[in-house]
Amino acid sequence: MHDRAPYLIIALCLSMTSAQAQGLGSEFRGTDDPAEIPRGVIGIDLTPGEQMRGLPRFDSADLEDFIEEAVTRQTLSAEELAEKFGTVSRNRNGEVQNEIAGERFFNAPLPDAPELDQRSAQGAPEILALIDDLTPRSATPGNARRVGDGTVWPYRSIGLIVALDSFENIIGSCSAALVGPRTVLSAAHCFFDHETGWIDDVLFVPGVTDLKTFGPPFGAFGWEDMHIASAYITEYDGTVLSTVPYDIAILHLDTDIGNHLGWLQVQMVDGQLPGYLSNLVGYPGDMPFGTMWWMGCPVSFINQPPKFTFRNCVTAQGTSGGPMYNHQPASDSRFILNINVAGNDEVSIGLTIDEEHFRWLSALWK
């Protein structure tokens, strides 16, 4: 065993190098050997507070006017793109920077659009590792299933975002996914509130499926900086819908845990994709805190506004920022195409990773 160890390490490093070289559109599955996975903070109190921030809600009566405005929106000029898809960032020291989109945004390599299998999720590998828990749901699809093992692929790359105030009290939670060695993809409203500003602190807890009973399988990880699109702030008019097209965020961790747990690939949605079956994995707030759930729901891009899509499958608070991905059984590959960002009792909204969002994410990937 000792003689083989160096070769295993070399193979793992080569795999990491190859995956990292591909950037945002790559998938890396990490390692199944728990001895090779570093642990984050263990034993930290992750008890939710009484006043938890929820999923942004909107009035369905406002949707028609908003959709009409979004559909008729003119193509943005290079200057407008640079402004709207600039980046507002906050680091651990509380310093905030605002930069317009630059060379990394405009020169980001764009992937070929994936050809997606439109088959049903019935019998797909995603449900094989799940507990058949038919507990009635108050806000999520009837086919929701609880994930039983978060240490297996792809669930170890998905995690709970815990928002903390200055006294380290938990004030909110979201869902997120590793998309790079240090890069976590989520929603902007998980980190920034238009009334109160940036949250004080945050933890990323990957692969946790039952926080109370089993705790975090890999611990909790801290961060270096958080980033949101500039338009999430500048386009705000007092309503949730005004910022939905820009409700996207990147959290850079202080540990390259993605090199060990792996990460999901992000793909760009173009105008030719009719729709797909989405697998949304996250942490619904209407279920025990820190339990991971899978929710399948069809998504259509036909007659939908650019930058987001509506789903008849509603979701609960806590699923904000959760990855909505398509699974391709033939290649056993997964593509994040949307992230869950808003909802009410009738409909939920997924932000679409279009060309501009893909460029923005690529510029921040590491």
What separation in angstroms does the CA of 150 have from each of 18, 184, 208, 214, 290?
25, 17, 6, 11, 12
Query: Picking from 50-54, 65-69, 112-116, which range would have the lowest pLDDT averaged per residue?
Result: 50-54
Domain locations in the chain as residue ranges: 61-70+79-102+118-364
* Burial state string for 165-177 with b = 16 or more CB within 10 A and e = fewer than 16: eeeeebbbbbbbb
Mean pLDDT over 21-45 rounds to: 85
CB-based contact 101:82 (threshold 8 Å): yes
CB-based contact 234:321 (threshold 8 Å): no
pLDDT band of 118, cuts 50, 70, 90: low
What separation in angstroms does the CA of 295 have from each of 11, 217, 240, 292, 314?
35, 22, 24, 10, 10
What single DSSP character describes residue 12?
A: H
Higher pLDDT, 218 or 317: 218
Mean pLDDT over 311-322 rounds to: 84
Q: What angle do CA 41, 153, 313 make, to 5 degrees?
A: 95
Most confident of 16-25, 197-206, 233-242: 197-206
Query: Whats the size of the chain, residue-wise?
Result: 366
Q: CA 243: distance to chain centroid?
A: 17
Mean pLDDT over 157-172 rounds to: 90
Query: Picking from 22-31, 91-100, 225-234, which range would have the lowest pLDDT averaged per residue?
Result: 22-31
pLDDT band of 329, cuts 50, 70, 90: confident
Dihedral pair phi/psi, residue 195, rounded to 5°: -95, -40
Instruction: Provide the whole-model pTM.
Output: 0.88
Residue 209 has pLDDT above 50, yes or no: yes
pLDDT band of 231, cuts 50, 70, 90: very high
Give the pLDDT of residue 111: 86
Q: What angle do CA 239, 311, 157 make, to 5 degrees?
A: 95
Kindly give the pairing relationship between strand 249-253 and strand 223-229.
Answer: antiparallel
CB-based contact 163:349 (threshold 8 Å): no
pLDDT band of 344, cuts 50, 70, 90: confident
Q: Tokens for 231, please give them.
A: 């338009």
CB-based contact 178:184 (threshold 8 Å): yes
Give the pLDDT of residue 44: 76
Give the pLDDT of residue 56: 73
Most confident of 222-231, 235-244, 302-311, 336-345: 222-231
CATH architecture assigned to 61-70+79-102+118-364:
Beta Barrel (2.40)
CB-based contact 198:163 (threshold 8 Å): no
Query: Picking from 144-158, 191-205, 256-270, 336-350, which range would have the lowest pLDDT averaged per residue?
Result: 336-350
Give the pLDDT of residue 317: 82
